Amino acid sequence: MPNPTTVLRATAVALAVALAVTACGAGSRTAAQSATQVACDIPAPPQPVTVNVLAYNSSAIDPFTNTMVKSCTKSGVTLNHEPIDFGGQVQKTTATLAGDSGTYDIVETYSYVVPQYASQQKLQPLDDLVAEFDQEYALSDINADMRKALSYDGKLYGLPMQAQMYVMAYRKDVLDALGVAPPTTFAELRDVAAKIQQAGEIEYPVALPLLASADISTAYDAALGSLGVDYVDATAMRPNFDRPEAAKAFEELRSLLPFMDPEVTTFDQPRVQQQMYNGSAAIAIMFSGRMNDLSQPTNSRFATQFAFAPPPSVAGGDTLYNVLSVDGWSIPTNTKVDKALLFEMIASAVSVDASRASVPAAFPAREGIVTPESSPYAAAAQQSIGKAPPAEPYPWTARIGNDTRSVVADVITGAVPVAEGTARMQEIATEILAEYQP
Partner 1 sequence: MRRREFLALVTPSVLVMGGLLVLPLHRTLEWSLERVNYGEAGTFVGLANYGAALSDPRLGQAVLFTVGLTLAVTAALIVGGYLLAVMVNGLGRSKPWVLGILLISYVIPHVVGGAMFSWLFDANFGGVVNHLVTLVTGQDVLWFTDPWPNRVIVALNTIWFMLPFAMLVIIAGLQGVPGELLEAARIDGASAVRTHWSVIIPSIRGVLGFVAIISIMDILRTFDQLVALSPQAVQLGNESIMLYIFNVAFQDGGQQLGLGSAVNVLLILLIVLMLFPFIRGIAKEARQA
Minimum distance from residue 98 beta carbon to partner 1 (Å): 3
Minimum distance from residue 334 beta carbon to partner 1 (Å): 9
Are residues 291 and 59 in contact, defined by beta-carbon separation less than 8 angstroms? Answer: no
Are residues 384 and 166 in contact, defined by beta-carbon separation less than 8 angstroms? Answer: yes
Assign 3-state DSSP to the chain and report helix, strand, coil percentages, each to 5: 45, 15, 40
With respect to partner 1, which residue has the nearer C-beta, 116 or 226? 116
The beta-strand segments (E) located in 82-209 are 106-110, 151-152, 155-156, 159-164, 166-171, 206-207
With respect to partner 1, which residue has the nearer C-beta, 57 or 413? 413
- Burial of residue 75 (CB within 10 Å: 0-12, 13-18, 19+) is exposed
Segment interacting with partner 1 (CB under 8 A) among 4-12, 177-185, 220-228, 365-373: 4-12
Are residues 93 and 107 in contact, defined by beta-carbon separation less than 8 angstroms? Answer: yes
Would you count residue 94 as binding partner 1 (CB under 8 A)? Answer: yes
Would you count residue 333 as binding partner 1 (CB under 8 A)? Answer: no
Q: Would you list the DSSP string of 410-424?
A: HHHHTSS-HHHHHHH
Would you count residue 263 as binding partner 1 (CB under 8 A)? Answer: yes
Are residues 153 and 234 in contact, defined by beta-carbon separation less than 8 angstroms? Answer: no
Would you count residue 98 as binding partner 1 (CB under 8 A)? Answer: yes
Gyration radius (Cα) of the chain, Å: 23
With respect to partner 1, which residue has the nearer C-beta, 266 or 374? 266
With respect to partner 1, which residue has the nearer C-beta, 94 or 140? 94
Segment interacting with partner 1 (CB under 8 A) among 46-54, 209-217, 247-255, 364-372: 209-217
Segment interacting with partner 1 (CB under 8 A) among 59-67, 76-84, 210-218, 314-322: 210-218
Would you count residue 111 as binding partner 1 (CB under 8 A)? Answer: no
Site size toward partner 1, by CB under 8 A? 38
Closest CA to 68 of 55, 84, 85: 55
Segment interacting with partner 1 (CB under 8 A) among 175-183, 208-216, 345-353, 379-387: 208-216
Segment 394 to 423, residues that bind partner 1, using CB under 8 A: 398, 402, 406, 409-410, 413, 415
Cα dihedral sign, 100-101-103-108: positive
With respect to partner 1, which residue has the nearer C-beta, 37 or 278? 278
Q: For the window 162-201, what string marks contact with partner 1 as x by the rule CB under 8 A?
A: ----------------------------------------
Among 76, 244, 262, 316, the residue binding partner 1 under the rule CB under 8 A is 262
Pairing of strands 166-171, 306-309: antiparallel
Phi, psi angles (nearest 5°) of residue 217: -70, -30
With respect to partner 1, which residue has the nearer C-beta, 26 or 236? 26
Are residues 244 and 418 in contact, defined by beta-carbon separation less than 8 angstroms? Answer: no
| ∠ Cα 123 127 133 (to 5°) | 115
Among 30, 37, 50, 91, the residue binding partner 1 under the rule CB under 8 A is 91
Distance CA 344, CA 132 (A): 10
Among 172, 243, 248, 271, the residue binding partner 1 under the rule CB under 8 A is 271
| ∠ Cα 39 40 42 (to 5°) | 145
Segment interacting with partner 1 (CB under 8 A) among 54-62, 238-246, 265-273, 311-319: 265-273
- Which residues make up the interface to partner 1 (CB under 8 A)? 4-5, 8-9, 11-12, 15-16, 19, 90-91, 93-95, 98-100, 113, 211-213, 262-263, 265-266, 268, 271, 274-275, 278, 280, 398, 402, 406, 409-410, 413, 415
